[in-house]
C-alpha cells in the first residue's frame, strides 16, 4: 500500500467555522508533511512532522494548527480562515525526514467563503 489518503476531497467553510483536514498513511513512514498549493503555483511547504513531533513550521499563521496523533495520522485544524486561504492542501509522507521519496495524497480542495 503506497497510498496517502486525504479527507475530505472538497471542503467549503465560512470564515467563522472550525474544520479539520485529515491525512492517513500505512507505509510505516515516520515523516509527514503539509503543503499548500494556490492555483497555477507550485506547492509550498507548511509543516513537517518527524516521529510525531513538529520539526518544521514555515512561519504559518496560527489559524492553521497541525496535529499528529500517531505515526499514521496527520491532521490540520482550521479556524478563522480568510478567503485567501482557499487552496489545495496536500499531505505527503516519507520514510524519514528528508527521505528519498515523498508520497503525496490527492489533496483537499478548500474554499473559504
Partner 1 sequence: DAKTTQPTSMDCAEGRAANLPCNHSTISGNEYVYWYRQIHSQGPQYIIHGLKNNETNEMASLIITEDRKSSTLILPHATLRDTAVYYCIVRANKGLGGGSNYKLTFGKGTLLTVNP
Which residues contact partner 1 by CB under 8 A?
A: 4, 33, 42-45, 48, 56, 90, 92, 96-107
In the complex with partner 1, the residue whose CB is nearer, 16 or 100, is 100
How far apart, in whole angstroms, are the C-alpha atoms of residue 17 and residue 79? Answer: 6
In the complex with partner 1, the residue whose CB is nearer, 73 or 88, is 88
Residue 56: which of 35, 78, 42 has the closest Cα? 35
Nearest distance in Å: CB 79, partner 1:
25
How far apart, in whole angstroms, are the C-alpha atoms of residue 88 and residue 108? Answer: 6
89: Cα separation from own chain's centroid: 6
In the complex with partner 1, the residue whose CB is nearer, 3 or 18, is 3
Nearest distance in Å: CB 76, partner 1:
15
Amino acid at each position: 500500500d503506497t497510498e496517502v489518503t486525504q479527507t475530505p476531497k472538497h471542503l467549503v467553510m465560512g470564515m467563522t467555522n472550525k474544520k479539520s483536514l485529515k491525512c492517513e498513511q500505512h507505509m510505516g513512514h515516520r515523516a509527514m508533511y503539509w503543503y499548500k498549493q494556490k492555483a497555477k503555483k507550485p506547492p509550498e511547504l507548511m509543516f513537517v512532522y518527524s516521529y510525531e513531533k513538529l520539526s518544521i513550521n514555515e512561519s504559518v499563521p496560527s489559524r492553521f494548527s497541525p496535529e499528529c496523533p500517531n505515526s499514521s495520522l496527520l491532521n490540520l485544524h482550521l479556524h478563522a480562515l480568510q478567503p485567501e486561504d482557499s487552496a489545495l492542501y496536500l499531505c505527503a509522507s516519507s520514510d524519514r525526514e528528508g527521505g528519498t521519496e515523498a508520497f503525496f495524497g490527492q489533496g483537499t480542495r478548500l474554499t473559504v467563503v
